[in-house]
Each structure stands twice: as structure tokens, then as C-alpha cells.
């Protein structure tokens, strides 16, 4: 059975957790991960780009000149797409880019992302995280003990439940860190982070979501 060490705020190993073999089976399903990432990024798009067709541009109601006899090309409106200030042909219009994924695909992608982080040795479990004074230097020292810092460039902290106000204030000034709730953490966020640090409660909630 695979075990993972649990660290305290000093970066010392104080316990270990046995990993469920049904979840941590070592398999990384690339197709499910791809679908989850594409769906997540598509769902972030607002789809607000909009252009006006020749029928929506103001003006152009009168024919510029008569049809025949002038020697010039025939024109029916000054708002033709060929003219300056004319309408746009086949331009973008507001649309919905969102995609729906089956629940099992989401679970498989989340499971695969965790397995990938475990294989890379980029999954860290911490017993508890507290900031009594609510200062950034407190939590910065904790992450330094875990060998996670600005050199990591991007790390994800997965917590269970809600953060207390002092801890949230201390964490928000760490530029390399993103904080996520285990209830809503998805495969894209896990893959995007170089290091994933999970509290004991957050890790249990992640596993329960997959199972």
C-alpha cells in the first residue's frame, strides 16, 4: 500500500496517510484530462464579441446614385461591406461557449490529475495551517519549510471548508500561491500548479469526491 507523509508547519514529517488503491492506481487518463481542460477553459469564455451587419449599421437608407448611366459600379447602400463604415460580413456575435461534462469524466480527470502530481512528487499534505497574527511572513515561513516559494512560480493550496479571516489575509499576499476549496477544485487547477499542497481535511474531501 502506498503511503504519503504528513508534514507539520515546521516541515517535519509527523505522520503518514495510506492512499486508497482505487483512487491512486497510477493511471493517468489523458483523454479525460484533455476533455476536462478544454471544457474548463471554454466555460471561462464570456462570448461577448459582437459586430454589426449591413442591416444593423446606422445610415445607408438612400441609394448613393442611380443604377445606370453614371459609368460607376452599381451600389444600393453606403453601408455595403465593401465600403468604409459599412457592415461586417461573417463577424463574431454573442454566443455561449460553455460545455457540459459527464460527472464520471470529471471524477476520472480529477483522479488522473492527482495521480500525475503523485508521480511527479509534487503532492504535499500538511497537518494544519494557521496564522495567529494574520501576517504574511508567518505563512511564508511555513511554505519555506515545505520548500515551496517564489521559485515554484505557481502552487495550489487545497483546503477543506472555509478559511478563517486571519489566515485568508495572510495568504492573499503570496504571489505564487492560489487557494482553492477541496469541494470545488478541478483537474485544470491541479494540472496548472507545479506544487499541490493540501491540508489533511482538504485531501480527505478531494478523495471523497472521487470515490
Look at residue 1 in the predicted model and tell me its pLDDT. Answer: 73
Q: What integer pLDDT is reported at residue 208 of this predicted model?
A: 92
Q: Taking residues 187-199, report their average pLDDT.
A: 94
Number of structural domains found in the chain:
2
For residue 165, what pLDDT band results from cuts at 50, 70 and 90? confident
Q: Are residues 115 and 201 in the same domain?
A: yes
Q: Show the cell assigned to 207.
A: 478523495
Residue 134 lies in a domain: yes
Q: How confident is the model at residue 11 (pLDDT cuts 50, 70, 90)?
A: confident
Q: What is the pLDDT of residues 98-132, one digit of tens each?
A: 999 999 999 999 999 999 999 999 999 999 888 88
Rg of the chain over all Cα atoms, to the nearest angstrom: 27
Instruction: Specify if 129 maps to a domain.
Output: yes
pLDDT at 130: 83
- 41 occurs within a structural domain: yes
Closest CA to 171 of 126, 132, 139, 124: 139
The domain that holds 27 is classified in CATH as 3.40.1370.10
3-state secondary structure of 199: strand
- Predicted pLDDT of residue 207: 92
In a domain, residue 119? The reply is yes
- Whether residues 23 and 125 fall in one domain: yes
- pLDDT of 81 reads 95
Residues 146 and 129 placed together within one structural domain of the fold: yes
Q: pLDDT for 36-52, tens place per residue?
A: 999 999 999 999 999 99
Is 190 strand, coil or helix? helix
Q: What are phi and psi of 3, to 5 degrees?
A: -120, 155
Are 41 and 64 found together in one domain?
no
Averaged pLDDT of the chain: 92
In a domain, 51, yes or no: no
Contact 49, 92 (CB under 8 A): yes
Q: Considering only residues 152 and 30, tell me which one the structure prediction assigns the higher pLDDT.
A: 30
CA nearest neighbour of 106 among 39, 26, 42: 39
Q: Specify the pLDDT at position 116.
A: 95
Non-local CB neighbours of 2 within 8 Å, separated by 6+ positions: 18, 19, 21, 24, 118
Judge if 76 and 144 occupy the same domain.
no
Whole-prediction pTM:
0.82
On whether residue 50 sits in a domain, the answer given is: no
Same domain, 83 and 167: no
Residues 66 and 92 in one domain: yes
200 shares a domain with 137: yes
Q: Which of 96, 120, 155 corresponds to the end of one domain?
A: 96
Residue range 55-109, pLDDT digits in tens: 999 998 899 999 999 999 999 999 999 999 999 999 999 999 999 999 999 999 9
On whether both 90 and 141 belong to a single domain, the answer is no
Model confidence at 2, pLDDT cuts 50, 70, 90, reads confident
Q: To which residue does cell 502506498 refer?
A: 2
Same domain, 114 and 199: yes
Asked if residue 146 is part of any domain, the answer here is yes
- In the chain, what is the straight-line distance between the N-terminal and C-terminal CA atoms, in Å? 18
Is the predicted pLDDT of residue 152 greater than 90, yes or no?
no
Same domain, 109 and 144: yes
**Where in the sequence is the domain holding 65, given as residue range(s)?**
56-96
Looking at the fold, whether 26 and 116 belong to one and the same domain comes out as: yes
- Angle of helix 103-119 versus helix 30-43 axis, rounded to 10: 110
In order of 30, 35, 39, 103, 105, the CA distances from 100 in angstroms are 18, 10, 7, 9, 10
Amino acid at each position: 500500500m502506498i503511503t504519503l507523509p504528513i508534514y507539520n508547519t515546521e516541515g517535519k514529517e509527523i505522520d503518514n496517510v495510506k492512499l486508497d488503491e482505487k483512487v491512486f492506481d497510477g493511471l493517468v487518463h489523458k483523454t479525460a484530462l484533455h476533455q476536462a481542460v478544454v471544457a474548463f477553459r471554454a466555460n471561462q469564455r464570456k462570448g461577448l464579441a459582437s459586430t454589426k451587419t449591413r442591416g444593423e449599421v446606422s445610415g445607408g437608407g438612400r441609394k448613393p446614385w442611380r443604377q445606370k448611366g453614371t459609368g460607376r459600379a452599381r451600389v444600393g447602400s453606403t453601408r455595403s461591406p465593401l465600403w468604409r463604415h459599412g457592415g461586417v460580413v461573417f463577424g463574431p456575435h454573442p454566443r455561449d461557449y460553455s460545455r457540459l461534462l459527464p460527472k464520471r469524466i470529471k471524477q476520472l480527470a480529477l483522479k488522473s490529475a492527482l495521480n500525475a502530481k503523485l508521480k511527479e512528487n509534487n503532492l504535499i499534505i500538511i497537518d494544519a495551517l494557521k496564522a495567529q497574527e494574520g501576517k504574511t511572513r508567518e505563512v511564508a515561513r511555513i511554505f519555506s519549510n515545505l520548500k515551496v516559494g517564489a521559485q515554484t512560480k505557481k502552487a495550489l493550496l487545497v483546503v477543506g471548508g472555509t478559511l478563517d479571516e486571519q489566515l485568508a489575509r495572510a495568504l492573499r499576499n503570496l504571489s505564487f500561491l492560489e487557494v482553492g476549496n477541496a469541494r470545488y477544485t478541478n483537474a485544470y487547477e491541479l494540472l496548472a500548479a507545479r506544487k499541490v499542497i493540501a491540508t489533511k481535511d482538504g485531501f480527505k474531501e478531494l478523495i471523497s469526491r472521487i470515490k
